[in-house]
Structure 1
Amino acid sequence: MTPEEAVVSPTSAPPVPSKTDADAADLRGFGYEPQLHRRIGSYASFAAGFSFVSILTTVFQLFAFGFSFGGPAFFWTWPLVFLGQFMVALNFAELAARYPISGCIYQWSRRLANATVGWFAGWVMIIAQIATVAAAAIALQVVLPSIWAGFQLVGGDPSLTSTTGATNAVILGSALIAVTTVINVIGVRLMSIVNSAGVTLEIIGVAAVVVLLLTHAERGPGVVFDTGGTGTGLGYVGPFLVSALMAAYVVVGFDSAGELSEETRDPRHTAPRTILRALAAAGIGGGLMLIAALMAAPSLTDGRLATEGLPYVLTTRLGETGGRILLIDVAIAIAVCTLAIQTAGSRMVFSMARDDVLPFSAALRRVSPRTGAPVLPSIVVGVGAAAVLLVNIGQPALFTAITSVCIVLLYIAYALVTVPLLIRRWQGWPGGEEVTGTERGGKLFSLGRFGIVVNALAVVYGIGMIVNLGWPRPEVYDPAGAHWYLHYFALLFVGGALLAGGLAFLRYRTRAMALHLPLPAAVLPEGETA
Structure 2
Amino acid sequence: MSATDNEPQVAPRATPATAQGGTAGPASSAEDAELLAALGYEQKFDRKVSLWANFALGFVYLSPLVGVVSLFALGLATAGGPSILWIGIVGVGQFLVALVFGEVVSQFPLAGGLYQWVRRLWNGRYAWFTAWTYICCITIGITSTALFSSDFVASLFAGTTDEPGITSTPAERLWIAIGMTIVCLVCNLFGTRTLALISKIGLAAELIGIVLVGFYLLIFERHNSISIFFETSSSNHDSYFSAFIAASLVGLFLFYGFEACGEIAEEVPNPARSIPRAMQLTVAVGGVAALFAFVGYALAAPDLDSILSGEDGNPIPSILQASVGTVGTKLVLLVILTSFIAGVMSQQAAASRITFSFARDNMFPGSRIFSKITSKHRVPRNALLAVNVVPLLIFVFVYYSPDSLTKIAAFQMLAGYAAFMMVVLAALRMRLKGWRPAGAWTLGRWGFTVNVAALAYGILGMVLLAWPTGDSDTAFVDRWIALIGFLIVSAVGLVYLLTVKPERQSTAPEGDAIEVAERLRSRAALATSTTGEKAA
Smaller-chain TM-score bracket: 0.7 to 0.9
Distance 1:397 1:89, change over 3 A: same
Q: Aligned to 1:488, which of 457, 464, 480?
A: 480
**Offset at 1:509?**
3.4
Matched, 1:352 2:358: yes
* Cα deviations by residue, 1:191-214 (Å, 9 ceiling, x for unpaired): 111221121122121112211110
Alignment-derived partner of residue 388 in structure 1: 394
Find 2:40's aligned residue among 23, 31, 34. 31
Alignment of 1:207 with 2:211, yes or no, is: yes
Equivalent position of 1:412 in the other structure = 418
Aligned to 1:499: 491
Q: Which of 103, 109, 118 is 1:94 aligned to?
A: 103
Shift of 1:484: 5.4
Q: Please report the TM-score for the alignment, with normalisation by the length of structure 1.
A: 0.87
- Residue 491 of structure 1, CA deviation: 2.5
Aligned to 2:134: 125
Query: Aligned with 1:186: secondary structure?
Result: coil
State how far apart, in whole Å, the 1-side matches of 2:102 and 2:120 are: 16
Contact persistence 2:234–2:240 (CA under 8 A): no
Deviation at 1:305, TM superposition (A): 7.3
Aligned-partner SS, 1:250 = coil
How far has the Cα of 1:231 moved from its partner? 11
What secondary structure, in the 3-state scheme, does the structure 2 residue paired with 1:393 have?
A: helix
Q: 1:18 Cα deviation (Å)?
A: 8.6
Aligned residue identity for 1:248: L
The aligned residue for residue 272 of structure 2 is 268
Which of 498, 516, 522 matches 2:509?
516
Aligned equivalents of 1:225, 1:55: Cα separation in 2? 22
Change in Cα spacing, 1:425 to 1:148, as seen in structure 2 (3 Å) is: same
Distance of 2:294 and 2:454 partners within structure 1: 24
1:176: how far off? 1.1
Equivalent position SS for 1:95: helix
Alignment RMSD? 2.8
- The equivalent position to 1:222 in structure 2, one of 227, 236, 240, is 227
**Structure 1 stretch 119-128 or stretch 212-221: which is displaced more?**
212-221
Compared with structure 1, are the counterparts of its residues 30 and 322 closer, same or farther at alpha carbon in structure 2 (3 Å cutoff)? Answer: same
SS at match of 1:40: coil
1:344-375 Cα shifts (integer Å, max 9, x gaps): 00001001000101100110001112221111
> Whole-Å Cα distance in 2 between the matches of residues 247 and 378 of structure 1?
29
Q: Please tell me whether the aligned partners of residues 422 and 455 of structure 1 are also in contact (alpha carbons under 8 angstroms).
A: yes
Which residue among 360, 364, 375 is the counterpart of 2:370? 364
Deviations, residues 39-66 of structure 1 (Å, cap 9, x unaligned)? 1011110011000011111210110111
Q: Distance between the aligned counterparts of 1:271 and 1:499, measured in 2?
A: 33
Amino acid at match of 1:496: I
In structure 2, give the amino acid aligned to 1:411.
Y
Distance in 2 (CA, whole Å) between partners of 1:398 and 1:205 is 29
2: distance between equivalents of 1:110 and 1:25?
A: 20
**What is the SS of the residue equivalent to 2:449?**
helix
Deviation of 1:279 (Å) = 1.1
Note if contact 1:230-1:236 (Cα within 8 Å) is conserved in structure 2. Answer: no
Which structure ranks higher in relative contact order (CA pairs < 8 Å, sequence separation ≥ 6)? Answer: 2
Give ranges in structure 1 of 5+ residues lacking alignment. 1-13, 152-156, 436-443
Corresponding residue number in structure 1 for 2:154:
145
Residue 440 of structure 1 corresponds to none
Q: In structure 2, what residue type is equivalent to 1:380?
A: A
Contact 2:121 2:427 in 1 (8 A): yes
Tell me whether 1:256 sits opposite 2:248 in the alignment.
no
Identical columns (%): 26
The two structures have a TM-score, normalised by structure 2, of: 0.86
Contact 1:158 1:168 in 2 (8 A): no
Q: Deviations over 1:318-341 (max 9, x none)?
A: 222212211110001000000001
Residue pair 1:299, 1:305 contacting (<8 A) in 2 also: no
For 2:506 and 2:369, locate their aligned partners in 1 and report how far apart those are by CA, in whole Å. 21
The match for 1:244 among 230, 234, 248 is 248
State the one-letter code of the partner of 2:233.
Answer: G
Distance in 1, matches of 2:233 and 2:431, equals: 44
How far apart are the structure 1 equivalents of 2:176 and 2:214? 28
Distance 1:150 1:394, change over 3 A: farther
- CA deviation digits over 1:251-303, x for unaligned, max 9? 11111111111000110111010010111111000011112222222243244
Paired amino acid for 1:217: R
1:220, CA displacement in angstroms? 4.0
2: CA distance between counterparts of 1:375 and 1:223?
49
Single out whichever of 395-404 and 92-101 deviates more from structure 2: 395-404
Q: How many angstroms apart in 2 are the aligned matches of 1:290 and 1:472?
A: 25
1:159 deviates by: 2.8
Superposition pairs for residues 288-299 of structure 1, below 5 Å?
A: 288-299=292-303
Q: 1:493 to 1:42 in 2, by over 3 A?
A: same
Tell whether 2:334 aligns with 1:325. no
**Residues in 2 aligned to 1:461 and 1:512: alpha-carbon distance in whole angstroms:** 35
CA distance in 1, matches of 2:53, 2:494: 36
The answer to whether the 8 Å contact 1:389/1:399 transfers is no
